[in-house]
């Protein structure tokens, strides 16, 4: 959630972006007690920023649980003009960003926040946040293939960490299977690549759980704000 310092100052209503740049160069701006004179310096949402030793007012922190639909991009902007997750929050008076991302054709639970500290904590590999997906795959997993997934399947450039796998439904006539898989990483197209590595393509994919959070009674495109208790519980995962 890092943003350029002059942009943060301008959005706080202190001065225009150009004047904010002059303030920075003049040594009038401090970040966490340190004078910053380099333009382009990026700061996090939780950074303490002062101008002439007066703290600037930052927007309050908010985190939302969002049921991302399929066919939506998990970015703030899209150069191809596709709908983004931010488009669903046009009535929210805060600049929200997705925590991680879900593929364009993947639906399910995605967190949206303006809390950079929380986002960085959740996305750091050491915290191993559990993510539960349900996939509809072509073909039927064998016991050896399930064992490979649970022991850590080798992908192109890395070996995936061991996953939990649970077969929910098998349709032998259509030769498809519904599988629940739990991972703790977030590499590009990871779940799809894991199934492909053991010989199965994914038809549909949805994320149903993130840490202890679920979609509850939300339907596609809906969201709700996390309670303070939920945010505090996420923060304790460090």
Count of CA atoms in the C-beta half-sphere (13 A) of 59 = 20
93 backbone φψ class: left, alpha, beta (φ>0; ψ -120 to 50): alpha
- The region that residue 53 occupies, defined by phi over 0 for left and psi between -120 and 50 for alpha, beta otherwise, is left
Q: Give the single-character DSSP code of 37.
A: -
Which residues neighbour 122 within 8 Å (Cβ) at sequence distance 6 or greater?
Answer: 99, 100, 111, 129, 211, 234, 237
Scan for tokens 């950079």, then name that residue: 116
| CB 86, CB 96: distance < 8 Å | yes
Residue indicated by tokens 């939780």: 46
Rg (CA), the chain: 21
Show which residues are catalytic. Answer: 103
Residue whose token pair is 């192109």: 156
Minimal CA–CA distance to 153: which of 142, 143, 163?
163
Tokens of 40: 């382009």
185 alpha-carbon distance from chain centroid = 12
């Amino acid at each position: 959630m890092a943003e350029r310092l002059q942009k943060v100052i301008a959005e706080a209503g202190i001065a225009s972006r150009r004047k904010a740049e002059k303030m920075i160069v003049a040594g009038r701006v401090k970040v966490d007690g340190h004078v910053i004179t380099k333009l382009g310096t990026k700061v996090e949402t939780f950074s303490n920023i002062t101008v002439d030793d007066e703290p600037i007012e930052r927007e309050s922190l908010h985190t939302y649980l969002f049921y991302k639909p399929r066919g939506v991009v998990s970015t703030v902007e899209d150069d191809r003009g596709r709908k983004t997750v931010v488009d669903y929050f046009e009535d929210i008076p805060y600049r929200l960003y997705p925590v991680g991302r879900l593929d364009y054709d993947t639906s399910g639970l995605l967190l949206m926040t303006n809390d950079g500290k929380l986002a960085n904590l959740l996305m750091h590999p050491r915290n191993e946040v559990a993510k539960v997906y349900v996939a509809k795959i072509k073909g039927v997993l064998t016991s050896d293939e399930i064992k490979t997934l649970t022991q850590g399947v080798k992908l192109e450039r890395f070996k995936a960490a061991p996953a939990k796998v649970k077969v929910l439904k098998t349709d032998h006539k259509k030769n498809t299977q519904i599988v629940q898989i739990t991972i703790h990483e977030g590499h590009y197209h990871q779940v799809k690549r894991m199934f492909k590595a053991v010989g199965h393509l994914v038809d549909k994919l949805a994320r149903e759980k993130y840490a202890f959070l679920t979609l509850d009674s939300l339907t596609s495109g809906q969201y709700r704000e996390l309670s303070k208790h939920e945010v505090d519980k996420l923060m304790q995962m460090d």
